[in-house]
Amino acid sequence: MNAALLAGATGLVGREIARGWADPGPLHLLVRRPLAAAPGQVVHVVDFAALPALPAADTAFCALGTTIKVAGSQAAFRAVDFDAVLAFAQAAREAGVRTFAAVSALGANPRSSNFYSRVKGEAEEALAALGFESLILARPSLLAGDRHALGQPERFGEKLGLAITKPFGPLFPAAWRPIAGATVARALLRAAAAPQPGRQVLGSADLQRLGR
pLDDT at position 147 is: 45
pTM of the model: 0.88
- Average pLDDT rounded to a whole number, residues 73-78: 97
Strand ranges in the chain using DSSP code E only, listed in sequence order = 4-7, 27-31, 41-45, 59-62, 99-103, 134-139, 143-144, 179-180, 198-203
Q: How many other CB atoms are there within 10 angstroms of residue 94's CB atom?
A: 13
Q: SS3 sequence, 78-96?
A: HHHHHHHHHHHHHHHHHCC
134 pLDDT exceeds 80?
Answer: yes
Domain of 127, CATH number, reads 3.40.50.720
Q: For the segment 143-169, what is each residue's pLDDT rounded down to a tens digit? A: 875 545 545 555 545 444 444 445 555
- Structural domain that includes position 65: 4-210
Average pLDDT for the chain: 88
Q: For the segment 170-210, what is each residue's pLDDT rounded down to a tens digit? A: 655 666 578 899 999 999 999 999 999 999 999 999 999 99
Domain count within the chain? 1
Q: How many other CB atoms are there within 10 angstroms of residue 76's CB atom?
A: 13
Query: What pLDDT band is residue 24 in, cutting at 50, 70 and 90?
Result: confident
